[in-house]
Amino acid sequence: MPEPIRILHFADLHIGMENYGRVDPETGLNLRVVDFLRRMDEVVDYAIAQEADAVLFAGDAFRTRTPNPTHQREFAQRIRRLSEAAIPTVLLVGNHDIPLMEQRASSVEIFSTLAVPHVIVADHPGLLRLETRHGLLQVATLPFPVYQRLLTREQYRHLNRDALDQAVSGALVDILGQLGAQCAPDIPTVLLGHFSVENAHWGSERNIMVGRDVTVPLSAIADPTWDYVALGHIHQHQNLNPAAFPPVVYSGSLERVDFGEEQQPKGFCWIVLERGRADWRYIELPARAFHTLRVDVRMEPEPLTAIRREVARHRLEGAVVRLIVVMTPDQEPQLRDAVLMPLLEGAFFAQINRDIDRAARDRLNGLDPDDLTPEHLLTRYLLTKGRVEAEIAPYLEEARAIFEEPESVA
Ligand SMILES: [Mn+2]
């Protein structure tokens, strides 16, 4: 019997996320970037200490497709540690890594250009055979789908958006079939992908996604051709095939990007793999905590006491904190930042949002927001931000695709 292969699967690093941070004078780096890099250190430490046979990164290394040289250096230093430990490491290309023009380089292509030992960049669909310390491992790679590459010019020009999504989804299913057919049947096999799977639970990031995002049906990937499906793209960790084989797993991101991820654990996956069998577990990392404190003081004779009470219920030390206070216009003068901020002392980052009773309805000219469609609300919002009607159409067009999404569970 061959010994099983031990694999570390992680995804969605997004180095360069700086919101809620500030510059650290010692390193010159934004402290939130330092958080993300610490998590990557923990991943690399774990892989080396546990003698991983392979590391599979499921895409989105940086926040943007043009990361700055400092962020590139920090990422490369950590990949170098895996390379020096002779751990085969696959870097899959996610949507945040893809150049706008096909001829240009992805943000991780430099590793293949320099032929960094043991590091493989996967920027197109394909089948890798990795020689690990515990034998061969097959890795089928499916990076983020680029419409222009998967469709013919004719299709791309003439199909409407729903038909386009259908066509791309169909193309991906075809590619999955072809990759599966190339696999040797007796070798442990992983599918490594960066895309959305039907019925996956989204956190808030769906709201900030722009552009197209095709969805692959779960039935197309929950196939025993694969012993484990390692996914990236959605930041919330989840197994989409919990009752059956193989596991279809989003490892999720390593750090919280915003308050939408407040409730999500953050970490990576460790898999002990044999042909026909995957024992895997989720390893949680000490990501920085996010806390939303919401206090409605409109009926409170002593609003400050009510706020103090809510603050005392949370551990704010080192956390990113937002305090939302629902108040009346009369209460506003006694609840200024100078009064509230000291209550949040010890937080890593604190922000105060005042939700003043009158404001929302005034901007809506007396209309009840509950009676308005999302399109109406977005239009009103853009108008109050000084946009003219003609500029609003493209926003609505993009937003409609989001509004039409079925209610997300997360
Ligand atoms: Mn992504």
Task: Quote the ligand 1 centre to 107 CA distance (angstroms).
Answer: 13
In a shared domain, residues 221 and 346? no
In a shared domain, residues 258 and 240? yes
Task: Quote the ligand 1 centre to 263 CA distance (angstroms).
Answer: 20
Task: Quote the ligand 1 centre to 136 CA distance (angstroms).
Answer: 28
Is residue 408 in a domain?
A: no
In a shared domain, residues 256 and 398? no
Task: Quote the ligand 1 centre to 288 CA distance (angstroms).
Answer: 21
- Alpha-carbon distance of 60 to 37, in angstroms, equals 14
In a shared domain, residues 393 and 257? no
Name the domain boundary from 259, 284, 309: 284
Is residue 301 in a domain?
A: yes
Name the domain boundary from 269, 284, 299: 284
pLDDT of residue 351 exceeding 60, the answer is yes
In a shared domain, residues 153 and 194? yes
Task: Quote the ligand 1 centre to 357 CA distance (angstroms).
Answer: 38
Task: Quote the ligand 1 centre to 147 CA distance (angstroms).
Answer: 15
Range of the domain at 26: 5-284
Is residue 246 in a domain?
A: yes
Task: Quote the ligand 1 centre to 64 CA distance (angstroms).
Answer: 11
Q: Provide CB contacts within 8 A for 181, sequence distance 6+.
A: none
CB 102 within 8 A of CB 143: no
In a shared domain, residues 59 and 107? yes
How many folded domains does the chain comprise?
Answer: 2
Task: Quote the ligand 1 centre to 405 CA distance (angstroms).
Answer: 18
What is the pLDDT at residue 253?
Answer: 96
CA–CA distances in Å: residue 168 to residues 155, 229, 322, 406: 10, 20, 40, 20
CB 235 within 8 A of CB 267: no
Pick from 64, 14, 17, 43: which is nearest to 349 by CA?
17
- CATH label of the domain that carries residue 103: 3.60.21.10
Task: Quote the ligand 1 centre to 144 CA distance (angstroms).
Answer: 7
**pTM for the whole structure:** 0.85
- Encoded tokens for 403: 């509004």
In a shared domain, residues 351 and 203? no
In a shared domain, residues 83 and 224? yes
What is the pLDDT at residue 206?
Answer: 53
What is the pLDDT at residue 256?
Answer: 95
Count of helix runs (H) and strand runs (E) in the chain:
13, 17
What is the pLDDT at residue 37?
Answer: 97
CB 74 within 8 A of CB 82: no
Is residue 64 in a domain?
A: yes
Name the domain boundary from 253, 284, 315: 284
Is residue 254 in a domain?
A: yes
Is residue 29 in a domain?
A: yes
pLDDT in tens, 296-339: 999 999 999 999 999 999 999 999 999 999 999 999 999 999 99
In a shared domain, residues 102 and 62? yes
Is residue 348 in a domain?
A: yes
Mean of per-residue pLDDT scores for the chain: 89
What is the pLDDT at residue 369?
Answer: 63
pLDDT of residue 359 exceeding 60, the answer is no
Task: Quote the ligand 1 centre to 142 CA distance (angstroms).
Answer: 12
In a shared domain, residues 121 and 20? yes
Task: Quote the ligand 1 centre to 28 CA distance (angstroms).
Answer: 27
Is residue 410 in a domain?
A: no
In a shared domain, residues 45 and 150? yes
Task: Quote the ligand 1 centre to 60 CA distance (angstroms).
Answer: 5
In a shared domain, residues 278 and 296? no
Task: Quote the ligand 1 centre to 95 CA distance (angstroms).
Answer: 5
